[in-house]
Chain A
Amino acid sequence: MASRSNVVFLVVLGALAVVSPAVGHISPYYYDIVVSIGISMILAASLNLINGYTGQFSLGHAGFMAVGAYASSWLTLRAGTPGGAGGAVVFAGALLAGSVAAALTGLAVGAPSLRLRGDYLAIVTLGFNEIIKGAIQNAEPLGAQRGLGGMGKYTGFFSTFACAALTVFVIHNLVRSTYGRGFLATHDDEIAAESVGLNTTRYKIAAFTIGAFFAGLAGGLYAHFKQFIHPEAFGFTRSMDIVVMVILGGMGRMVGVCLAAALLTVLPEVLRYVSHLGFLPEWLRHVAENRMIIYSLLLIVVMIARPQGLFSLKPARARS
C-alpha cells in the first residue's frame, strides 16, 4: 500500500513539473483560481484529519492558517527579497517555520481539547480562532488592523500543488499506518479504543498538531500568493468554508474532500457569473450572490439525506 502511494506521489510530482510551465501562460484570473484550488485542498485535507478521520470537530482551522501566514510573512519580510535560488530557500524556510508555528499553536489548542467532545470542542476551537485573530489585530509589528503586505510573490502553481500532493500523501499514509489506525479508532468508539490500550487523548492532540501544521503551510502559500494578508481573512467565515468542504466531501474520505475543495473554490466564481445573467429572476440572482445560503442549505440537506458526503458510493461508517 505504502509503496504504491509512493509511486503515485512521485508520478503526481512529475506531472506537476511537466504541466507547470504551460499553466503559467493562462490568464491571471484563471491562474488565481487554480492556485486557490490547491490551497483549499491543503486546508480541506488537513482539516479532514481532525474532523474526518479522528472524529473531532474543529471550527477554527483558519486560525492555524493565520499563524502560518503571518509567521512566514514576517520571516520573508525580514529576509528581504533575494532573487533566484536564494529566494526559493528563504521561501521554503519561511513556509516550514510558519507551519511549525501553526503546529505549536495546534498543540496548544489540542491540549484543552482532551477534556472536551463534540459541541464544546467546536465552540472552543472557534474561540481560539477568535483569540488568534484578536491577538493579530492588536499586534502592531504584524500590521494590526491594517493588514500586512509587501511579501514577494513566491507561491506559484508548482509549489502549491506540490504542497497539496505532499499533504494528501502524508495524511493518507498516516491514517493507514499501524500507528495511524488509532485515529480511526478514536473516531469510531473512544471508549472501546481506550479499553484496548490506545491513548485517545494523544491521538487527538496529534491530529490537531499535524492538521495545524498543514493549515499553516496553506497559510504561508496564501500569504505569498496574495501578497497581502488581513486578520479578517482568517475569521469564522474562512473556517466555515473549510468545514463545508470536509462535510460535503464526506468526513474521512480524502478523494471526496479534495473534490469538494476544488468545487467549492470554483463555485463562488460560477455564482458570480450566474448572478449577472439578466434572464434569471432577481431573487435567484440575489441567492447566487450570497454563496453562504447555498452552503447552509447543502449542509442541512446533506446531513439529513447523505451524511457520507456528496461523492461517496459507500454508506457512512457506523458510529456510537
Chain B
Amino acid sequence: MTEFLQQLVNGLAQGGIYALIALGYTMIYGVLRFINFAHGDIFMLGAFAGFYLAPATLKLFGAGPSYAGAALVLLGAMALCALIGIVIERLCYRPLRDRPRITALITAIGVSLLLENGGQLLFGADPKSFPDLIVDRALDLPAGWGPLSALTITLSQVLVLGVTLLLLVALRHVVNRTRTGLAMRALSLNPTAAQLAGVNLDQVIMFTFGLGSALAGAAGVLISIQQPSIDPLMGISAGLKAFIAAVLGGIGNLPGAVLGGVLIGLLEALVVGYLSPTYRDPIVFAVLILILIFRPAGLLGTVQKEKV
C-alpha cells in the first residue's frame, strides 16, 4: 500500500512538470493548428537558463540557497524562454504561415534538432549538475496517518507541485479573464472571424509563443530542482511525453493538457515501480497510439469535422 502511494506521489510530481510543458503544446496548437516540435527543447533551455542564472542570483541574497533567489531564477528563466520562443516564431514559423502544414512541421523538427545540437556545442554534451536553489529534505509526516506516514515526500516535490498549481491558476486567469486571452480563444475558435473582429493575428501568436515558452522554461527549472542533472538532450523525452499528454487530454484543450500530464506522470511512475524502466517509453507510446485510434479527440476534446 505504502509503495503504491509512494509511486503516486512521485508520479504526481513528474506529472505536474509534464502538464506545464503540455500546456504550451496545446496553446500553440490552438492558435496555429501546428505542433511545435521544438517545445521540448525550450524546456531544456529553461533548465540551462536556470543553471547559468543561479550562481549570480543566489549571491544577491547571501551565499547559500534561498527562496527569494530560487523565485528570481525561475522568473529569469521564464523570461529568457519567452524571448527565445518569440524569436523562433518570428524567424522560422512566421514566413511559413500560409504554406502547407507539413512545411511548418519539418521546420519545427529542424529547429528542434538545431536547439539540441547547438546546445551540445554551446553547453557541452555531458550532463551538468544543477546548483541547489533550495535546501531539499524529506518532510516529517505525522505518525498518526496510517500508511501515509511512511511515505517519503521531499520539500522539492511539494514546492514543485505548489509552483505548478500557482502557474496553472495564473494561466487560467490570463486565458479566461484578460482581453489577450479572449483574443487567443477567439483565434482558436475561428481565425477568420477573429481577425474580422479586430484581433491582431501576429500579436496574439507572439503572445501565445511567449506564454507557452515561459511555462516550458519554468518546467525546466522545476525539474532541475528535483532531478539536478541536466543535459542538452533532456528536452527530447520530456517534450514527447508532454506532447502525448496534450493529445491524451485533447489537443487545444487547456484543462485536458493538465489532466493528460498528470495521467502520464502517474502511468510512468507505476510502470517504473511495478514493471521495468525499459518498458516505460514503449508503454507511454502505446497509450498514445491507442488514444489516437479509439478517441482521436482526446479525453476532454471534441471531435472536429474537416471542412472542404
Q: A120-B247, A120-B292 are in contact. Are A138 and B107 (CB under 8 A)?
A: no
A304 adjacent to B35 (CB under 8 Å): no
Of the residues B95, B101, B111, B282, contact of A119 by C-beta under 8 Å? B101
CA distance A305 to B111 in the complex (A): 15
Please give 4 more A-B residue pairs, beta carbons under 8 A apart, in addition to A127-B289, A300-B92: A127-B288, A293-B114, A297-B114, A304-B92
B251-294: CB near A (< 8 Å → 1, else 0) gives: 00000000000000000000000000011011001101100110
Which residues of the partner chain A approach B92 to less than 8 Å between Cβ atoms? 300, 304
Taking CB as reference atom, which chain B residue is nearest A289?
B121
The listed residue with most A CB atoms (<10 A of its CB), out of B106, B120, B243, B293, is B106
CB distance from B22 to the nearest CB of A (A): 13
Q: B87-129: which residues lie under 8 A (CB-CB) from chain A?
A: 92, 95-96, 99-103, 105-107, 109-114, 116-118, 120-121
- Report Cα–Cα, A130/B292, bound state, in Å: 17
Check B113 against A299 for contact (C-beta < 8 Å): yes
Looking at the assembled complex, report how far the CB atom of A127 sits from the nearest CB atom of chain B, in whole angstroms.
Answer: 4
Q: Which of B95, B110, B117, B296 has the most CB of A within 10 A?
A: B110
How far apart are the CA atoms of A9 and B173 in the complex, in Å? Answer: 65
**Chain A interface size, under 10 / 10 to 19 / 20 to 34 / 35 or more:** 35 or more
Q: Are B114 and A134 in contact (CB under 8 A)?
A: no
Q: CB-CB < 8 A to B34: which residues of A?
A: 119
Q: Does A290 lie within 8 Å of B114, measured CB to CB? A: no
Chain A 287-320 near chain B by CB (<8 Å), digits 1 or 0? 1001011011111100110010000000000011
**Residues of A contacting B169 with CB < 8 Å?**
none
Do A112 and B292 have beta carbons less than 8 Å apart? yes
Question: Is B288 in contact with A115, judged by CB distance below 8 angstroms?
Answer: no
| A138 to B283 alpha-carbon distance, docked (Å) | 13
**Cβ-defined contact, B296 with A303, below 8 A:** no
Do A304 and B107 form a contact, CB below 8 Å, given A130-B282, A191-B308? yes
Task: Determine the chain B residues whose CB is within 8 A of the CB of A272 once the complex forms.
Answer: none
**Complex Cα spacing A131 to B290, Å:** 13
Q: Would you call the interface of chain A mostly helix, strand, loop, or mixed?
A: helix
Q: How far is the CB of A294 from chain B (nearest CB, A)?
A: 9
Known contacts A296-B114, A300-B110, A118 near B105 by CB under 8 Å: yes
Contact B289 A57 (CB under 8 A): no
Residues 91-132 (chain A) with a chain B CB within 8 angstroms: 112, 115-116, 118-120, 122-124, 126-128, 130-131
Q: Of B101, B106, B120, B288, which is within 8 A of A247 by CB? A: B106
Is there contact, CB below 8 Å, between B279 and A134? Answer: yes
Residues of A with C-beta under 8 A to B114: 293, 296-297, 300
Contact of B107 among A240, A295, A299 (CB under 8 A): A299
Query: Can you offer 11 A-B residue contacts whose CB atoms are under 8 A?
Result: A115-B292, A120-B247, A138-B278, A296-B110, A296-B117, A298-B110, A299-B106, A300-B107, A303-B107, A304-B96, A307-B103
- Kindly identify which residue among B102, B113, B240 contacts A295, using a CB–CB cutoff of 8 Å: B113
Interfacial chain B residues near A267, Cβ < 8 Å: none
Q: With the chains together, A319 CA to B98 CA distance in Å?
A: 11
